[in-house]
A = this chain, B = another copy of it.
Amino acid sequence: MPELRKDPIVGRWVIIAPDRAKRPANFVEQEADNGDLFDPFLEGNEDATPGEILAYRTPGTKPDSPGWRVRVVPNKFPALLVEGELSKRGEGIYDMMNGIGAHEVIIECPHLETNMSRLSLDNIREVIWVYRDRLVDLKRDPRLVHGLVFKNKGALAGATLEHTHSQLIVTPVVPVSLAEEMNGALEFYNYRGRCIYDDMIQQELASDKRIVLDTPGFVVLCPFASRCPFETWILPKQHSSHFENIQRQGVDELGMVLKSVLMKLEIALDDPPYNFVIHTAPFDTHNLPHYLWHIEIFPRLTRVAGFEWGSGFYINPVEPETAARFLREIEVDPQQSGSPSKPINESRQG
């Protein structure tokens, strides 16, 4: 059973999950008998994953069989387990609890595609619906308080499989980064009576220099204090603290915006590894006036965060204004799909 442990000094929770050490070490699909790489996320290979939790599929097709468009399965090497008691306990100055939670994989398409940006708009919108549906479902579990939807794209960003997928980790505690955001935003709200994210959006739209994309419902920008080159945030213009409260119009537009931004980043940075994380308020809160859900995207360009990792002190060699201008000027057509895809065999050798 994994364990959640709290650092007694800074309050950061860490998942200690010894079983995760057993997962495949390399960024390659396992080789099948015929020498080809085996893709457990491919339609037809449903028995290579744990049984599905949710799938959007053609009416009449059976679970864990072909006929799906987006499919959710438990992570084969989960950081947290859904069964069991929380058993919160202390040991002197330390706090810990059982590693209860959920760790799911969202397989974004049935065919082998490495880049989310090359999925059709409808496909990306269904992926967003799946994010929402899973959060709404897991929110019902009173043991769980927060859901983290994220994506690791590319080996350098921590992905172990190429087939485009996202992950969901739902925890009985609030991740420290989110807690810090919530605290900072609440402090501002108590002082100014406004949401700091909304203020930021107003100021950014007025100056325009860090804006990447401005649509009726969303603004995309490179944040003022970007931690890494081409850090990019997607923020909704309509105030909402909880991602899972998104409506159809929001999903339709977010699909277009997310696809456009990923296309821009891939053209600008030559198909970079990246992470994105959806920041959303904890399950046990409602319609917070001081917090705004948003998506943070980090291309992994710099060799590796070096000492930054240990110190929280970031050195960013690219001004966000430069990155934003660059991204703004790249024209993309989010209606296109499958392009600028290279054939899979070629991209594997890249």
Report whether A306 and B158 are in contact in the complex, using a CB–CB cutoff of 8 Å. Answer: yes
Q: Across the interface, which residues of B come within 8 angstroms of A21, CB to CB?
A: 317-318
User: Which one of A37-45, A218-226, A247-255 is at the B interface?
Assistant: A218-226
7 contacts between A and B (CB under 8 A): A5-B224, A12-B312, A19-B317, A92-B203, A151-B307, A152-B306, A300-B304
Residue A267 interfacial (CB < 8 Å):
no
| A314 touching B224 in the complex, CB below 8 Å, given contacts A275-B309, A298-B309, A304-B304 | no
- A303 vs chain B, min Cβ distance (A): 6
Q: Which residues of A contact B (CB under 8 A)?
A: 5-21, 27, 79, 92-94, 148, 150-152, 155-159, 167, 169, 171, 175-178, 180-181, 184-185, 188, 196-197, 199-200, 203, 223-227, 275-277, 296, 298, 300, 303-307, 309-320, 322
A184 and B225 in contact, given A15-B314, A150-B310, A159-B306 (Cβ under 8 angstroms): no
Instruction: Decide if A311 touches B177 in the complex (CB within 8 Å).
Output: yes
Bound CA span A296–B17, Å: 21
Q: Which residues of B contact A319 (CB under 8 A)?
A: 16, 18
Query: Which of B10, B157, B225, B316 has a CB less than 8 Å from the CB of A17?
Result: B316
Report how far A9 CA is from B93 CA in the complex, Å. 30
- Are B316 and A225 in touch, CB under 8 angstroms? no
Report the separation of the CA atoms of residues A111 and B276 in the bound assembly, to the nearest whole angstrom: 43
Q: Which residues of B contact A13 (CB under 8 A)?
A: 225, 313
Interface contact B177-A310, CB-CB below 8 Å: yes
Query: Chain B residue with minimal CB distance to A276?
Result: B310
Say whether A18 contacts B318, CB under 8 Å: yes
Chain B residues positioned under 8 Å from A15 (CB to CB) = 313-316
Chain B residues with Cβ under 8 A from A16's Cβ? 226, 316, 319-320
Considering only CB atoms, which chain B residue lies closest to A197 in the complex? B9
Give the distance in Å from the alpha carbon of A309 to the alpha carbon of B150 in the complex: 11
Say whether, besides A5-B224, A8-B200, A177 and B313 are in contact (CB < 8 Å): yes
Contacts of A11 in B (CB 8 A): 184
In the assembled complex, the CB of A177 is this many whole angstroms from the nearest CB of chain B, namely 3
Minimum CB–CB distance from A297 to chain B (whole Å) comes to: 9
**Separation of A246 and B34 alpha carbons in the complex (Å):** 63
Question: CB < 8 Å: which of B18, B156, B196, B277 contacts A317?
Answer: B18
Other 19 A-B pairs with CB < 8 A, given A15-B314, A93-B199, A296-B310: A8-B188, A9-B185, A9-B196, A10-B180, A14-B225, A15-B316, A16-B319, A17-B315, A17-B317, A18-B322, A19-B317, A92-B199, A155-B303, A159-B306, A176-B312, A177-B310, A177-B311, A178-B312, A277-B310
Bound form: Cα–Cα A26–B22 in Å: 32
Are A313 and B180 in contact, CB atoms less than 8 angstroms apart? no
For A14, A184, A313, which residue has the most chain B Cβ atoms within 10 angstroms?
A: A313
